[in-house]
Amino acid sequence: MAAQENAQGAQPERHAIGISFGNSNSSIAYTTVEDKAEVIANEDGDRQIPSIISYIDGEEYVGNQAKSQLIRNKDNTVAYFRDFVGQEFKSIDPTHSHASAHPKAHENTVAFTIKDKAEGDASTVTVSKITSRLIKRLVASATDFTGKQVDSAVITVPTNFTEHQKQALTAAAKEAGLEVLQLINEPIAALLAYDGRPDAKVSDKIVVVADFGGTRSDVTVVASRGGMYTILATSHDY
């Protein structure tokens, strides 16, 4: 029956999620049959998942399992890499990488040296590859949680992400087997969630959205008019 429907041009069923891709933590969410957004827990029961990947004894760990390696295996643990996506090494600020694997220059991009004993020689892993691996694990968690194969997503990005960084993030997601339906600025995503509440009274307004993250703080002024959002000003500090 499915083959017949495809032959007649029917669109295959799609399963999309939302990904909040943070420099410190990431979250994944989906819309329930009741049309409510629900944050998904990964296999460890975490709904706020550290954006960290660690390699030890030939195994890859993500989230809190990787975070626990920052003390005894920090040289093979990559953290706080989101802002490096799509950037040249000379443009990054590696300040927050002091407690994890240190970034290095690799073919005009950012990479990390992993020295996993089980793998023998040290290997160079680009920030694009690390990002792709994190996204792949987030998608796997969402697929396990929902019981449906996730194939697309809307992903949040900071307001200062350049077009090149957005393209790099989209490419990393594609490498993970995920189609990016849309990249949305973090403060806009926050407002959409707020205005989407059943009891919300949507009206024209100017709103200040404050985001105090693990490595940076962002303040954004947004105008909401007729259901459209426009960023008027933004500032961030590390």
Q: Give the domain range for residue 57.
A: 16-185
| Mean predicted confidence (pLDDT) in 126-131 | 97
DSSP string, 14-81: --EEEEEE-SSEEEEEEE-TTS-EEEPP-TTS-SSEE-EEEEETTEEEETHHHHTTTTTSGGGEEES-
What integer pLDDT is reported at residue 11 of this predicted model?
65
What integer pLDDT is reported at residue 37 of this predicted model?
87
Please say if the pLDDT value at position 180 is more than 70: yes
| Mean predicted confidence (pLDDT) in 50-73 | 94
More confidently predicted of 67 and 94: 67
Classify residue 232: in a domain, yes or no: no
Which residues are CB-contacts of 17 (< 8 A; sequence separation ≥ 6)?
28, 29, 30, 40, 139, 142, 150, 152, 153, 154
Among the ranges 72-76, 113-117, 179-183, which has the highest mean pLDDT value?
179-183
Please say if the pLDDT value at position 1 is more than 60: no
Picking from 48, 44, 7, the residue whose alpha carbon sits closest to that of residue 26 is: 48
Neighbours of 187 (CB within 10 A): 24
More confidently predicted of 213 and 25: 25
Classify residue 179: in a domain, yes or no: yes
Alpha-carbon distance of 16 to 148, in angstroms, equals: 10
- Of 102-116, 140-154, 186-200, the least confident: 186-200
pTM more than 0.85: yes
Classify residue 37: in a domain, yes or no: yes
Please say if the pLDDT value at position 104 is more than 50: yes
What integer pLDDT is reported at residue 196 of this predicted model?
76
Please say if the pLDDT value at position 231 is more than 90: yes
What integer pLDDT is reported at residue 97 of this predicted model?
81
Instruction: Give tens-digit pLDDT for 7-30.
Output: 455 566 779 999 999 999 999 999
Contact yes or no for 236/157 (Cβ under 8 A) = no
Please say if the pLDDT value at position 64 is more than 90: yes
Classify residue 103: in a domain, yes or no: yes
Which pair of tokens denotes residue 219?
């303040």
Classify residue 11: in a domain, yes or no: no
Confidence band (pLDDT; 50, 70, 90) for 5? Answer: very low
| Mean predicted confidence (pLDDT) in 55-62 | 92
What integer pLDDT is reported at residue 63 of this predicted model?
96
CA separation, residue 36 to residues 29, 189, 195 (Å): 10, 15, 13
Which residues are CB-contacts of 146 (< 8 A; sequence separation ≥ 6)?
15, 30, 40
User: Are β-strands 179-185 and 152-157 bridged in parallel, bridged antiparallel, or unpaired?
Assistant: parallel
Classify residue 35: in a domain, yes or no: yes
| Mean predicted confidence (pLDDT) in 182-188 | 97
Classify residue 128: in a domain, yes or no: yes
Q: What is the CATH number of the domain that holds 85?
A: 3.30.420.40
The share of the chain scoring above pLDDT 70, in percent, equals 93
Q: Quote the mean pLDDT of the chain.
A: 90
CA separation, residue 228 to residues 5, 141, 203, 219 (Å): 37, 32, 11, 19
The total domain count for the chain is 1
Classify residue 194: in a domain, yes or no: no
Alpha-carbon distance of 72 to 100, in angstroms, equals: 10
